[in-house]
């Protein structure tokens, strides 16, 4: 399926129901920092909680605390979590998924290595709903293709079970 068709298909359709994924767990920000190089204030994932290794799908969470500094400027009278940061959050979850799929495990290995990657392309994105202070995001990432050089993920941000954002992203492994 081509990129445009894939994005259109999942513009409204949820990639997976997180509570139906085979592995249920609760990994914290501390655990996430063992998987990806992002740190505060640019680590946007709060937790990882469900995984399907067979279908290469991972679920995570982010609570949008009302006093996030970015809400003061985006926008002062009507704060909204930026779409670009939603795409970044999907990308961070995709990097976490890279560990689980690459190691073929639902565990975070003691010797987990931080990936050396760079974003190469946002293939496309749809923004359907606003995310506001106090919202609880559920983020989904599904590995679409990868080899030793490139990886592509389809991701979603959902809000109360509805798709808010869908994005297709590509990274290069260095």
pLDDT for the residue 99: 96
Return the H-helix or E-strand segment holding 26. Answer: strand 23-27
Asked whether 68 and 146 are in contact (CB, 8 A), the reply is no
What DSSP string describes 93-112? HHHHHHHHHHHTSSS--TT-
Is 146 among the residues known to form the active site? no
According to the CATH classification, is domain 3-173 in 3.10.129.10? yes
Bridge pairing between strands 57-63 and 117-127: unpaired
Candidate list 74, 98, 106, 146, residue with the active-site label: 74
All structural domains of the chain with their residue ranges: 3-173
Q: Taking Cα atoms as reference points, which of 130, 134, 116, 138 lies closest to residue 47?
A: 138
pLDDT at 1 over 90: no
pLDDT tens per residue across span 69-108: 999 999 999 999 999 999 999 999 999 999 999 999 999 9
């Amino acid at each position: 399926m081509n990129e445009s068709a894939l994005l259109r298909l999942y513009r409204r359709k949820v990639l997976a129901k997180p509570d139906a994924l085979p592995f249920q767990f609760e990994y914290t920000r501390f655990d996430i920092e063992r998987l990806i190089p992002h740190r505060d204030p640019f680590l946007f994932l709060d937790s990882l909680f469900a995984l399907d290794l067979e279908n290469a799908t991972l679920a995570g969470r982010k609570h949008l605390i009302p006093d996030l500094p970015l809400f003061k400027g985006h926008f002062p009278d009507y704060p909204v979590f930026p779409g670009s940061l939603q795409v970044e959050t999907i990308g961070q979850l995709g990097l976490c998924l890279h560990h689980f799929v690459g190691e073929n495990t639902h565990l975070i290995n003691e010797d987990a290595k931080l990936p050396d990657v760079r974003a190469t392309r946002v293939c496309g994105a749809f923004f359907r709903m606003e995310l506001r202070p106090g919202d609880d995001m559920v983020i989904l990432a599904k590995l679409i293709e990868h080899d030793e050089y490139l990886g592509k993920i389809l991701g979603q941000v959902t809000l109360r079970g509805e798709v808010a954002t869908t994005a297709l992203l590509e990274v290069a492994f260095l």
